[in-house]
Amino acid sequence: MEYIIIIISAIFVNNIVLAQFLGICPFLGVSTKTETAIGMGASVLFVMTLATIVTYLVQVYVLFPLNLAFLQTISFILIIAALVQMLEIILKKVSPPLYQALGIYLPLITTNCAVLGVAILVIKKDLNLMESVVFTVATALGFALALVIFSGIREQLALADVPKGMKGIPIALVTAGILALAFMGFAGLV
């Protein structure tokens, strides 16, 4: 039951993008096409999960025992950067179209504050390794869900007659705000 609460809370109630405002750059940048949004969601899921496992192990078995907890942020950033480089190499070989579609946004996962934020939140919440993985996967799925919903709305907005002053980012920000309000409806769920 505890894992179900973690999953529902991470996906809907405390959505990393819409409630905690982490990962806004890829949320706005990659959300123009649903296909690219799905690819970015999958990439973030992979990187976030792997990064959380590795950073958790480094924190618990290296930084805490050696009393080097003050190096948490810099070590987490280095770990995430290495994992993104690995993902970039894999995508280039396995799926060149997805690699091309993600373009500049793939290296931006390195600086995606959602990935770093989740790695730090896991330590702050004092979760064990299994709870950390469940929380991370659910958070990444929540990120992907928000990204895909938002990209679908933006594709429809591209076809709509939007006033000149609201075209592009302004209407995207208004839409993101309304989507965040919609997700606030889940607040009493858990």
pLDDT of residue 29: 82
Q: What is the mean pLDDT of residues 21-28?
A: 86
More confident residue, 109 or 58: 58
Whether residue 103 is predicted with pLDDT greater than 90 in this model: the reply is: no
More confident residue, 178 or 29: 178
Q: Phi/psi zone of residue 68: left (φ > 0), alpha (ψ -120 to 50 degrees), beta?
A: alpha
- pLDDT-derived band at 135, boundaries 50, 70, 90: very high
Q: What is the mean pLDDT of residues 19-37?
A: 86
Q: Please state the three-class secondary structure of the chain as a single string.
A: CHHHHHHHHHHHHCCCCCCCCCCHHHHHHCCCCHHHHHHHHHHHHHHHHHHHHHHHHHHHHHHCCCCCHHHHHHHHHHHHHHHHHHHHHHHHHHCHHHHHHHCCHHHHCCCCHHHHHHHHHHHHCCCCHHHHHHHHHHHHHHHHHHHHHHHHHHHHHHHCCCCHHHCCHHHHHHHHHHHHHHHHCCCCCC
pLDDT of residue 84: 85
Whether residue 24 is predicted with pLDDT greater than 70 in this model: the reply is: yes
Asked if 123 and 93 count as a contact pair (C-beta separation under 8 A), the reply is no
Residues 112, 68: Cα–Cα separation, whole Å: 24
Q: What is the mean pLDDT of residues 172-186?
A: 92
Residues 104, 122: Cα–Cα separation, whole Å: 28
Whether residue 109 is predicted with pLDDT greater than 80 in this model: the reply is: no
Whether residue 82 is predicted with pLDDT greater than 70 in this model: the reply is: yes
pLDDT of residue 129: 95
Asked if 173 and 18 count as a contact pair (C-beta separation under 8 A), the reply is no
Asked if 181 and 81 count as a contact pair (C-beta separation under 8 A), the reply is no
CA angle 61, 143, 74 (to 5 degrees): 35
Token pair 């070590």: residue? 75
Whether residue 114 is predicted with pLDDT greater than 80 in this model: the reply is: yes
Q: Kindly report, residue by residue over 146-170, the tens digit of the pLDDT.
A: 999 999 999 999 898 999 999 888 9
Percent of the chain with pLDDT over 70: 97
pLDDT of residue 102: 67
Token pair 């999958």: residue? 42
Radius of gyration of the chain (CA): 17
